[in-house]
């Protein structure tokens, strides 16, 4: 399973509403994300509006397409769009950040060498 990090930009004037909306995401959307293969999905929001997302999926492009096909996602994206500092649907404006380090992967790769350090 692959790990994905992505960035978005919430308009700083809308941070409180963004937080409030994400404190109570619609159950139908939660199920759509889960069923589309979004796993361990988290969002982090800085005070300046920088939104950092993390998700795991076997294929995030396919997972995004499956969610995009749902009516609930279309409604959610339309409502969220006005809170962002970008044009269009927020989930189409993600900037993906490549992974350069993962502790578990490195520990597994190091194998016995890590055990002998103890």
Cα–Cα dist 17/22, whole Å: 9
Q: How many CA atoms lie within 13 A of 34 on its CB side?
A: 7
Q: Is 9 an annotated catalytic residue?
A: no
Helix, strand, coil shares of the chain, percent, nearest 5, are 50, 25, 25
Catalytically annotated residue among 22, 46, 65, 109: 22
Which residues have a catalytic role annotated?
22
């Amino acid at each position: 399973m692959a790990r994905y990090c992505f960035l978005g930009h919430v308009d700083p004037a809308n941070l409180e509403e963004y937080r409030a909306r994400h404190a109570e995401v619609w159950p139908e959307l939660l199920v759509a994300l889960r069923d589309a293969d979004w796993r361990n999905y988290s969002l982090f929001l800085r005070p300046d509006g920088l939104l950092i997302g993390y998700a795991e999926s076997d294929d995030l492009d396919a997972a995004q397409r499956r969610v995009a096909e749902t009516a609930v996602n279309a409604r959610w994206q339309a409502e969220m769009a006005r809170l962002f500092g970008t044009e269009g649907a927020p989930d189409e404006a993600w900037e993906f950040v490549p992974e350069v380090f993962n502790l578990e992967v490195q520990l597994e790769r190091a194998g016995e060498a890590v055990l002998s350090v103890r």
